Chain A
Amino acid sequence: QAGSIASKIPGPSQEHDRPESNQCSLHHFQVSFHQLGWDHWIIAPNLYTPNYCKGACPRVLHYGLNSPNHAIIQNLVNELVNQSVPRPSCVPYKYVPISILMVEANGSILYKEYEDMIAQACTCR
């Protein structure tokens, strides 16, 4: 079955013909706490740059995408077994924290480090 399917899968040259801008990658995204209506309690920083991941994931997941080895199995099961099984999608892979200075409802002032608030790299999984 895999052999018969393989002839239908676009070859490496065909996949690489896809514009690189459409491939899974990190996109810059920034918002201010003023825009969120939170600047009355978040003192610093003024801007929050969480970024986001967007783009197409190829059927054969190459090394640079940081995908786990199993991810290709999702593609195979989707094609060979059940189309409702989700294929790998473009999601964040690495995160960095952010430090926030805020005022609490009782007047206390809080410095707090929040883990995993900014996406730094993307993967297909």
Chain B
Amino acid sequence: TVGERSTGPLAEAPTLPLIQELLKEAPDKQQRKPQVLERPMRYMLELYQRSADAHGHPRENRTIGATMVRLVRPLANVAKPLKGPRHIQTLDFPLRPNQVAYQLVRATVIYHHQLQLAGFQLSCHVEPWVQKSPTNCSPSLGRGSSKPSLLSEAWTEMDVTQHVQKRLRNHKRHRILRLCFMCQHQKGSAGQELLWHGTSSLDTTFLLLYFNDTHKSVQKAKLLPGGLEEFMERDSSLLLRRAR
């Protein structure tokens, strides 16, 4: 309800200069409207409903632990048909530079630990990519990866915070987090060729990045980790005054 007069879409009113200015800030309207049925979107909708009410007010008892959460999908990957019981695929997740005054507090990869493909039941897990060969993932025998935890019947979560922070610190451009997505037949049936089209892993595996607003943290005089050096150097005099 908008005052006494009814309004149609304000975006189509050319005589409202402020609305026109605001529309310039919005993403391109040609952008495809997101499909609610897609698994990543469903996951984020559930996260939203747990964290905010129907009016958009953050819930007092929310456990999200961050003021911003970004779901990052893997880049498109070409599938390779494999023989045998095991399928291994590398997934590359682009990492954008942190916005000023936002600190990464947690990073997890969410994936389906059980998949059905062409009638076969597959058991899957994710591991950080270890640079043994430039193109292939090799099972790392659990070295360098944290133990995954079961979120639900469908989703499993694995913490990759240290891996992401390392990529953000060591690479200023073209930051990519590479992970290995590995599945194998639960029955261990050898010799069966399984054509993996690759799209399943793009829809069933994604990265969650949790950020907090560091500006608010500074105002509360909390200790900040070393990753905020750039922010602190810029406003060090202001921080000193506030600390006093």
Contact = CB atoms under 8 A, between A and B. Distances in A.
Chain A: interface size category: 35 or more
A58 to B, nearest CB: 25
B69 A99 contact: no
B41 interface: yes
Contacts of A48: 56
Contacts of A115: 213, 216
A110 B2 contact: no
Contacts, number: 113
Interface residues of B, number: 44
Given A48-B56, A108-B71, A108-B73, A41 B44 contact: no
B78 interface: no
A45 B19 CA distance: 19
B118 interface: no
A20 B41 CA distance: 48
Contacts of B1: 28, 30
B234 interface: no
A47 to B, nearest CB: 7
B69 A43 contact: no
B2 A111 contact: no
Contacts of B44: 43, 101, 109, 111
Contact of A40 (B3, B8, B31): B31
Interface in A30-48: 30-31, 34-41, 43-45, 47-48
B22 A36 contact: yes
B68 A111 contact: yes
Interface in A19-35: 28-31, 34-35
Interface of A: 28-31, 34-41, 43-45, 47-49, 96-101, 103-113, 115, 118
Interface of B: 1-3, 7-12, 19, 22-23, 26-29, 31, 33-34, 36, 40-41, 44-45, 47-48, 51-52, 54-58, 64, 67-73, 94, 213, 216
